[in-house]
Amino acid sequence: MTSYTPPRALTRRDKVGKFDCGVDSLNSWFRTLALRNQESGASRTFITLDGEGRIAGFYSLSSFSIVKAEVGNAGLGMPDPTPATLIGRLAVHVDHRGQGLGVSLLRDTVERAIRVSLEIGSAAIIAHDRDESVVSFYEQFGFARLGGDRKTLMIPMGDAVATIRSLETES
């Protein structure tokens, strides 16, 4: 795999205008709103750069809460609403697709969510999927669909920790 910088927070100096993941709504959010949200605190966006300093991928995280009824059995013993961490968006530049960068960003996202949950309670990680076709991208990491909403996926924080531990054992 090409080498990429470790994900770091988006700043005003980063050139977001040429980022293209092939999905207009995601491109538009990243180019126009990611920095604004970064500065207001509404979401935090992390980027990774390719060897030439161009943005190769990003993800954004926010605090979230989910109604317990939507969580199903995985919500047993949880408060209502259940505190969670939202992966608002995650995307890879079209030039860098299919090289493992997406899964590497997802792993970094999950590791960050776990670290933050040690300071601010969060019982699960949620991802809203743009469309049905990307569901399997999250499922292979242990996310599962929530019953009522086919496009929302969740992994309980304990399962996320177990997934990361098993990846650490493999490597």
Ligand X SMILES: CC(C)(COP(=O)(O)OP(=O)(O)OC[C@H]1O[C@@H](n2cnc3c(N)ncnc32)[C@H](O)[C@@H]1OP(=O)(O)O)[C@@H](O)C(=O)NCCC(=O)NCCS
The whole-angstrom distance between residue 99's C-alpha and the CA centroid of its chain comes to: 18
Binding mask 17-36 for ligand X (x = CB under 6 A): ----xxx--x----------
DSSP state of 1: -
Q: Which stretch binds ligand X (CB under 6 A): 27-35, 115-123, 125-133, 151-159?
A: 125-133
Contact, 56 vs 102, CB < 8 A? no
Q: Residue 45, SS3?
A: strand
Which residue lies nearer to ligand X by CB, 119 or 131?
Answer: 131
State the nearest-atom distance from the C-beta of 167 to ligand X, in Å: 13
Q: Which residues of 21-30 are buried (b: 16+ CB within 10 A; e: fewer)?
A: bebeebbebb
Q: Which stretch binds ligand X (CB under 6 A): 68-76, 113-121, 134-142, 151-159?
A: 134-142
Of 130, 123, 168, which is closest to residue 150 (Cα–Cα)? 130
Of 72-91, which residues contact ligand X (CB under 6 A)?
89-91
State the nearest-atom distance from the C-beta of 79 to ligand X, in Å: 27
State the nearest-atom distance from the C-beta of 13 to ligand X, in Å: 23
- Active site residue ranges: 138
